């Protein structure tokens, strides 16, 4: 049966259902498009014959709304939406946001803070015996004890605070189907402890035989993380334990090399993380994106102006998953993983053909990409057999000699989509890794796929402006970000300029930079401002570093140490300094003049006032 899945009991009855198998609770409005996790999980379960009802943005002030469909036969599936609810609700300055693009009409306030915890407790209140399974980004990144920027402390696993039975981390299609099969077979949710890509609660392992009854049985390969008691203080010892825990988790976040991880708590329970699920392969991804999505928001939102988030993705195509870029500030490494997998060209072209039949389609496909658009295959052949390297990155500090730098398949896909009848232009908005392009150019010369890709990118896939993310210019900051030196970006900018000149095109480049990232001193911020002044790059947007769970940068922010080297790292935490660093990145704005002068004074660089401010005086 096609159409939107039921959002109320009336729609459920119209489908002839007396009871839903699962009630999927989400903090987003209901958008049945494959860019939304709720849509993917619900359609995957539907394809397996399960009845899924959608409880989108429920009233969380009581349990009444969680009884909307009656008791689900197999349980509640709960996520906060496409974004962590705290990031969605608060700016980096911890001010409450006034807009929520995932809500009808962009109206803020329709999801609670810490939505997964709130929703899970309400679901448990509504039906005490119904299994509760949490997942999505918020649950995935908070699966173990984690530093919480908004509370400024280490919080325990979200699985405990949510009082849920199971937690799915990463991309959850396989795990949720395996859980559904187990529940359908009559297995109690509390006994499901073998499924990859999940975390569950158990009695903490004991050291003596007398205390072993009912406790977790330790296997030889198990990895014991530092216990919560050792993490929860705010002293140097606790921070050292936190760094060690992060390092162990990072090294085990691979389906081939990953071990079972265990984190114990003072009350005698532990959180057990099974190794990750293998990534979906090409055929599985093709099947996933061929499911009968309605590809828009539920019509009940039309009166409020729809759901703004659909605008950017409605005519975009997800071509790949995973990212081996390894940026320190990005949560993809911890959530999707570093193993890149792509859809087939035929699957991507079929989705483009489907778009052309939409009455709203104007001939423009906004994106064909993923976490990183030009990563269209696994990083190397060795990785397929032995897993991702635990001790080094694919691109940092320089491209690995084993890295497969080839854009041929991606070029072929873009050309095929561009040839679909009704398609006028195919854009790339996911973002490209310029260092990967430059590595391809360096290895294969001007006749290689790197040059061809950059030429076609300039000629066919942008409209006047290319947005790229060097993130910073200071060497020590880029080192903490796990990004290449600024010379690599400069070389890319030169090639971009040369190719556009050759094509007779007048196109520009807008770089993205991050202020106050761990490792960035006020002097580094000054150096970045000078770099921008010298190169003429005026940033469109400046992003203050936002410490979010699950990233290497957040671990460094909290501990002020690199967990892999143990070296001290400077971290700007004072709000005034953060304001000064941000102002330096917008030195060209009149409103920032006082702040820029103060920053230069504090950095001992008043000699640069004329360079940055043109000699203006108050």
Domain map (residue ranges) of the chain:
9-197, 201-276, 464-618
Q: Which alpha helices (H) appear in 290-400, and where do they start and end?
A: 310-313, 332-335, 345-356, 381-386
List the one residue out of 274, 230, 268 whose CA is nearest residue 255.
274
Q: Name the least confident of 365-379, 381-395, 497-511.
A: 381-395
pLDDT above 80: residue 336: yes
Spacing of C-alpha 437 from chain mean position: 23
Distance CA 27, CA 29 (A): 7
Query: What top-level class would CATH report for the domain 464-618?
Result: alpha beta
pLDDT above 60: residue 252: yes
Q: What pLDDT band is residue 210 in, cutting at 50, 70 and 90?
A: very low
Q: What pLDDT band is residue 1 in, cutting at 50, 70 and 90?
A: low
List the one residue out of 129, 13, 146 whose CA is nearest residue 69.
13
Query: Is the fold of 9-197 the same as that of 464-618?
Result: no
pLDDT above 80: residue 29: yes
- Residue in this structure with the two tokens 């008043």, named with its chain if needed: 606
The 3-state DSSP class for residue 471 equals strand
CA neighbours within 13 Å on the CB side: how many for 452? 14
Q: What pLDDT band is residue 207 in, cutting at 50, 70 and 90?
A: low
The 3-state DSSP class for residue 504 equals coil
List the one residue out of 321, 332, 134, 334 whose CA is nearest residue 248.
334
Beta strands in 446-501 (DSSP E): 465-471
Distance CA 573, CA 550 (A): 19
pLDDT above 80: residue 305: yes
Q: What pLDDT band is residue 56 in, cutting at 50, 70 and 90?
A: very high
- The predicted pLDDT at position 233 comes to 84
Distance CA 76, CA 201 (A): 17
Q: What pLDDT band is residue 217 in, cutting at 50, 70 and 90?
A: confident
Pairing of strands 52-56, 146-148: unpaired
- Residue in this structure with the two tokens 């040839």, named with its chain if needed: 419
CB 133 within 8 A of CB 78: yes
- The predicted pLDDT at position 526 comes to 97
Surface-to-core class of residue 346, CB atoms within 10 Å of its CB (0-12 exposed, 13-18 middle, 19+ buried): exposed
Average pLDDT, the chain: 94
pLDDT above 90: residue 277: yes
CB 80 within 8 A of CB 116: yes
Q: What is the CATH number of domain 9-197?
A: 3.40.50.2300
Counting residues of the chain whose pLDDT is more than 70, the rounded percentage is 97
Q: What pLDDT band is residue 120 in, cutting at 50, 70 and 90?
A: very high
Surface-to-core class of residue 267, CB atoms within 10 Å of its CB (0-12 exposed, 13-18 middle, 19+ buried): exposed
Residue-wise pLDDT for 405-415, tens only, equals 999 999 999 99
Distance CA 461, CA 452 (A): 13
**Residues ≥6 apart with Cβ < 8 Å to 63:** 122, 123, 125, 126
- The predicted pLDDT at position 618 comes to 38
Predicted structure pTM score: 0.95
First to last CA, the chain: 69
CB 22 within 8 A of CB 52: yes
CB 319 within 8 A of CB 342: yes
Distance CA 284, CA 280 (A): 6
Residue-wise pLDDT for 341-370, tens only, equals 999 999 999 999 999 999 999 999 999 999
pLDDT above 90: residue 567: yes
pLDDT above 60: residue 616: no
**Residues ≥6 apart with Cβ < 8 Å to 473:** 486, 527, 528, 531, 532
The whole-number average pLDDT for the span 560-565 is 96
Q: Which two tokens stand for residue 572?
A: 């700007």
Spacing of C-alpha 320 from chain mean position: 14
List the one residue out of 160, 124, 125 whose CA is nearest residue 142.
160
Distance CA 204, CA 576 (A): 44
Pairing of strands 22-26, 75-78: parallel
């Amino acid at each position: 049966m096609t159409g939107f899945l039921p959002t109320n009991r009336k729609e459920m009855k119209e489908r002839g259902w007396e009871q839903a198998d699962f009630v999927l609770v989400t903090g987003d409005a209901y958008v049945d498009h494959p860019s939304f996790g709720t849509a993917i999980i619900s359609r995957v379960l539907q394809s397996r014959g399960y009845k899924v009802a959608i409880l989108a943005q429920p009233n969380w002030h009581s349990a009444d709304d969680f009884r909307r469909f009656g008791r689900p036969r197999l349980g509640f599936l709960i996520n906060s939406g496409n974004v962590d609810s705290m990031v969605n609700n608060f700016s980096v300055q911890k001010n409450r946001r006034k807009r929520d693009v995932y809500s009808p009409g962009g109206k803020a306030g329709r999801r609670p803070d810490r939505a997964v915890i709130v929703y899970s407790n309400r679901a448990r209140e509504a039906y005490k015996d119904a299994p509760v399974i949490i997942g999505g980004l918020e649950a995935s990144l908070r699966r173990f004890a984690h530093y919480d920027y908004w509370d400024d402390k280490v919080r325990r696993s979200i699985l405990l605070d949510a009082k849920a039975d199971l937690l799915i981390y990463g991309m959850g299609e396989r795990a949720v189907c395996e859980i559904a099969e187990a529940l359908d077979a009559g297995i109690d949710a509390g006994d499901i402890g073998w499924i990859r890509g999940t975390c569950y609660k158990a009695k903490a392992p004991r050291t003596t035989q007398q205390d072993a009854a009912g406790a977790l049985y330790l296997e030889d390969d198990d990895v014991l993380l530092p216990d919560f008691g050792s993490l929860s203080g705010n002293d140097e010892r606790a921070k050292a334990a936190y760094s060690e825990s992060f390092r162990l988790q990072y090294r085990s976040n691979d389906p081939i090399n990953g071990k079972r991880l265990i984190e114990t708590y003072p009350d005698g329970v532990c959180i057990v993380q099974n190794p990750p699920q293998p990534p979906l392969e090409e055929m599985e991804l093709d099947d996933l994106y061929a499911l009968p999505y309605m590809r828009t928001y539920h019509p009940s939102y039309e009166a409020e102006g729809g759901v703004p988030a659909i605008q950017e993705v409605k005519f975009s195509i997800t071509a790949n998953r995973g990212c081996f870029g390894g940026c320190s500030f990005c949560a993809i490494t911890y959530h999707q993983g570093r193993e890149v997998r792509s859809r087939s060209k035929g699957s991507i072209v079929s989705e483009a053909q489907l778009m052309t039949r939409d009455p709203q389609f104007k001939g423009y496909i906004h994106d064909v990409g993923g976490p990183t658009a030009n990563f269209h295959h696994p990083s190397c052949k060795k990785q397929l057999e032995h897993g991702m390297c635990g001790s080094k990155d694919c691109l940092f500090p320089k491209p690995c000699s084993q890295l497969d730098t080839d854009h041929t398949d991606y070029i072929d896909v873009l050309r095929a989509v561009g040839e679909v009848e009704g398609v006028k232009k195919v854009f790339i908005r996911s973002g490209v890794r310029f260092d990967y392009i430059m590595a391809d150019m360096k290895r294969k010369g001007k006749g290689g796929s790197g040059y061809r890709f950059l030429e076609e990118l300039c000629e066919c896939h942008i409209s006047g402006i290319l947005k790229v993310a060097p993130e910073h210019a200071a060497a020590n900051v880029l080192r903490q970000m796990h990004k290449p030196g600024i010379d690599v970006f400069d070389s890319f900018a030169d090639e971009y300029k040369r190719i556009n000149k050759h094509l007779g095109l007048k196109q520009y480049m807008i770089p993205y930079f991050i202020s106050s990232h761990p490792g960035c001193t006020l002097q580094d911020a000054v150096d970045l401002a000078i770099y921008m002044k010298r190169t003429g790059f005026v940033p469109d947007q400046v992003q203050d570093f936002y410490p979010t769970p699950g990233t290497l940068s957040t671990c460094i922010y909290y501990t002020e140490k690199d967990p892999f080297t143990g070296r001290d790292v400077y971290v700007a935490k004072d709000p005034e300094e953060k304001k000064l660093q941000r102002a330096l990145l917008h030195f060209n704005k009149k409103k920032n003049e006082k702040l820029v002068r103060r920053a230069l004074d504090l950095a001992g660089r008043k000699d640069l006032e004329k360079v940055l401010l043109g000699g203006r005086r108050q």
